Amino acid sequence: MTKETLLLTIAVLGGTGKEGKGLAYRWAKAGYRILIGSRSSEKAVKAASEIMELLEGSSSVVGTTNLEAAGQADIVVLTVPFAAHRETLESVKEALKGKILVDVTAPLVPPKVSKVQMPPAGSAAQEAKEIVGEEVEVVAAFQSVSHEHLLGEENIECDVLVTGTSKKARTEVLTLVEAAGLTGWDAGPIENSVVVEGLTSVLININRIYGSKHSGIKITGVSKQPTE
């Protein structure tokens, strides 16, 4: 753990869900201070306690409300279902000013979750940007990673495409991808999130057809060292 890691606090809003809890576990294990956010502080405290048990109390994981978590964090990660996306962002947008928002949301519309259905803004991340405004850097990431992997100890054979409003913000989030034990790629501006988020429905469809629970993606044919 580096000094910078120990000083950085990550809020995981919707952290009581499987994806949020898995990411929180991975980052807490890497040495970050984690705040689990939820509409219900009781559920958040319970989820934080479960993660601490897995880590045998060796990390800092605290449960609280979404608003309190967002206000205390350096980086805020949104892991709520798309149905709660707008409501959650509107409830915390004042607390997000000057911070990076990592939007993990995929715009899945039940019951046809294996069909790509993008919102009017173009993607969930672009919708988030419209809601939170220019004072927040918005990055989309982790949509193609199954929660089935995150609470395990094995290496995850799945890459993460990172899109966002600035190169600096994407670079910050790529550090979090690596800390979670994954390989990340800078996939360009936030407009490209439409492709990344759409892959979630494609992977759900592949899982359904081929009897899997955790299909993912891998980038091939390119050096890991960027040339720009």
The proportion of the chain whose per-residue pLDDT surpasses 90, expressed as a percent, equals 82
Strand, coil or helix: 31: coil
What is each CA distance from 15 to 31, 108, 137, 205, in whole angstroms? 17, 18, 20, 25
Sheet with 75-78: strands ordered across: 61-65, 33-38, 9-13, 75-78, 100-103, 137-140, 159-164, 183-189
Query: pLDDT band at 164, cuts 50/70/90?
Result: very high
Going by C-alpha positions, the residue among 50, 31, 13 that lies closest to residue 176 is 31
- CATH tag for 3-210 (out of 3.10.350.10, 3.40.50.720, 3.40.1260.10, 3.20.20.70): 3.40.50.720
- pLDDT for residue 227: 66
Tell me the pLDDT tens digit for each residue of 43-54: 999 999 999 999
40-91 per-position pLDDT tens digit: 999 999 999 999 999 987 789 999 999 999 999 999 999 999 999 999 999 9
Helices (H), the chain: 3-7, 18-30, 41-54, 66-72, 85-92, 124-132, 147-150, 167-179, 193-210
* Residue 34 pLDDT greater than 60, yes or no: yes
pLDDT band of 7, cuts 50, 70, 90: low
Helix, strand, or coil here: 113? coil
